[in-house]
Amino acid sequence: MSADDLTIEGRRFRTRSDYEAALRDQKKIERIKAETNLNSPRQIYELFSELQSGVYRFESALGTDFDDEIYEKVEKLRAQGITRENATDSMKASGRRGRAGQKKEKTDKRKEAKSKEKASGVKRSVRRKAETKNLEDYDKEMQKQILAELKKQEKRRKTVIVLASLVAVLCFGYFGVYYYFAERTSADYETLAELKGSDLLSSDTQEKNEFAIHKTGLKLPDVLDEYKTLYKKNKKLIGWLKIDDTNIDYPVMQTNNNEYYLDHNFNQEYDKNGSIFMDCDCNVYPRSTNLILYGHHMKSGNMFGNLQKYAKESYGKEHALIQFDTIYEKGTYQVMYVFRSQVYNEDDLIFKYYQFIDANSEAEFNSYMEEMAELSLYDTGVSASYGDSLLTLSTCDHSQEDGRFVVVAKRIR
C-alpha cells in the first residue's frame, strides 16, 4: 500500500489502524461542523467548552487539529473583546445547532416517544384503570396482577433513585478529589518556588560536596547555591524547569525508576499530578546528549497540561526559550522540534524518541535529528550538530493510543 493511501487532510498515518481511526474522526468532525454555526461566537464558545470537558473523544491527530482550530477561533474572539458571557448570536435561531440539526433532533425525539408509548401501553392502561376504579372492582386474579405491577414500578423507582444518588456522590467525590490535588499542587509548588535562592537550611548545605559520588564513580560538583535549600529537603531533586509566560515552573526529580514520581510530589506524598521527572537513564554529570523530562498532561493545566499548545507554530515562536537548570549548572534551550509520537512495542522497527539519550557517533546523532525533523509539526529554523546538548519534554497525547506529545530543544547557553 502506498503512503498516499494512508493520507487524510495532508496527514500521513503510519499504520492502517491509525488511518481508520482518522477516518472515524473525520466523519465525527464533519458532523459536528454541520450541527454548529462557526460564525456564531456563542456556539463557538459552547463547542470549545464541550471539547475541553471531553464530550467529544477523538482517536487521531485530526481530532487534535480540530481542537486547535476551535481554540484559535476562541483566541480571536477574546482578542476582539468577545467573551463567553457577552457573546451573542447574530443568527435568528438560538442554540448551537442549525435548523437541520434541530429538525432531525425533534424527529428522533418523536420516534423515541412513540416507541416508548407503544412499549408501555399495557402498563399505562393498568395504571389508569387502577386510578379510576377501586381495587375491589376487579376479580382476584386481576387484583394480583395490578398489585404485582405496582410493586415492580415502585421497586424500579427506588432503584433509579438509589443509583442516581450513588452516581452523583461518586461524581462529586471524584471532582472534589481531583480539584483538591490540583489546588494543593499549585500551592505546594508556589511555596517551593519561593525557596529557590533562599538561605533556609543554609547552615547544613554550605559545605562543599566532598562525598557526593555519581553512579559512574565520578565526584560530583557542588550544588548551586540557588538550589541548596530545596536539595536539602529532597535529595532526589535534579534540576528546575521554567518556561516564561506559562505555568511550567517546577522542580525536576530523578530516581532509579520511571514510576515513583508518576504519582508522588516533591514532598514524597501521593499526588495524582505526580512530578516532572527525568528519565532514570539520563545523566546530568557527566551530561547525556539528550535529557528527557516527563510530566502528566493534566486537564487542570498542572505539570505538562499546557505543553500541547506548542502544536501551534505561533505559540512555539512566542515561547521558544526554555530554562532548565540542573542542580549543578544553569542552562537555556531553544525549541527545535515539536511532534507527536507513540510508545511502541519493543520489537517495532521504528524511531523511538524516548530511547535517544546518548549518541555514540556523529552519524547516529544526525540520524536522530533527521527522524525528528521529519516528524516535526513545523520548521522552527533551529538545527543541532553533533556535540550539542538537547532537552526533550514529553507528555501524553490522547489523540492516539499510547500517544505522546514531544518538544525538543537545543542548549544555546
**Same-domain status, 115 and 168:** no
Buried-state track 313-322, b at ≥16 Cβ within 10 A, e below 16: eebbeebbeb
Is pLDDT above 60 for 351? Answer: yes
Is pLDDT above 70 for 290? Answer: yes
Of 144, 173, 195, the last residue of a domain is 195
Is residue 202 in some structural domain?
no
- In Å, how far from its chain's centre is CA 317? 22
**Same-domain status, 125 and 109:** no
Q: Mean pLDDT over residues 108-116, rounded?
A: 60
C-alpha cell at 28: 465525527
- pLDDT category at 317 given cuts 50, 70, 90 is very high
**Same-domain status, 105 and 127:** no
Is residue 34 in some structural domain?
yes
Gyration radius of the chain over CA positions: 29
Over residues 381-394, the pLDDT tens digits come to 999 999 999 999 99
**Same-domain status, 231 and 344:** yes
Is pLDDT above 80 for 116? Answer: no
**Same-domain status, 31 and 163:** no
Is residue 203 in some structural domain?
no
- pLDDT category at 58 given cuts 50, 70, 90 is confident
Is pLDDT above 90 for 90? Answer: no
Pick from 25, 28, 37: which is nearest to 100 by CA? 37
Is residue 369 in some structural domain?
yes
**Same-domain status, 105 and 185:** no
C-alpha cell at 211: 562525598
The pLDDT value recorded for residue 103 is: 52
Owning domain of residue 138: 120-195
CB-count burial class (<10 Å; 0-12, 13-18, 19+) for 333: buried
What lies within 8 Å, CB to CB, of 242 at 6+ separation is 248, 249, 250, 322, 323, 324
Of 119, 149, 171, the last residue of a domain is 119
* Domains in the chain, number: 3
Is residue 18 in some structural domain?
yes
Strand partners, 218: none
**Same-domain status, 222 and 135:** no
**Same-domain status, 79 and 185:** no
**Same-domain status, 215 and 345:** yes
**Pairing between β-strand 276-278 and β-strand 249-253 as defined by DSSP bridges:** parallel
CB-count burial class (<10 Å; 0-12, 13-18, 19+) for 158: exposed
**Pairing between β-strand 390-397 and β-strand 332-342 as defined by DSSP bridges:** unpaired
Is residue 200 in some structural domain?
no
Pick from 33, 37, 44, 46: which is nearest to 80 by CA? 44
Over residues 188-206, the pLDDT tens digits come to 676 776 767 666 544 444 4
**Same-domain status, 179 and 251:** no
CA distance 322 to 380: 14
Is pLDDT above 90 for 310? Answer: yes
CATH number of domain containing 293: 2.40.260.10
Q: Mean pLDDT over residues 258-279, rounded?
A: 93
In this predicted structure, which of 159-173, 215-229, 292-306 has the lowest mean pLDDT?
A: 159-173
CA distance 36 to 101: 9
CA distance 284 to 229: 19
State the average pLDDT for the chain. Answer: 82
CA distance 333 to 337: 12
Of 58, 84, 119, the last residue of a domain is 119
Is residue 201 in some structural domain?
no
**Same-domain status, 189 and 220:** no
CA distance 295 to 304: 5
C-alpha cell at 123: 402498563
Between residues 169 and 131, the one the model is more confident about:
169
**Same-domain status, 263 and 369:** yes
Is the CB of residue 386 less than 8 Å from the CB of residue 365? Answer: yes
The DSSP annotation for 308-338 comes to GGGGSHHHHHHT-EEEEEESS---EEEEEEE
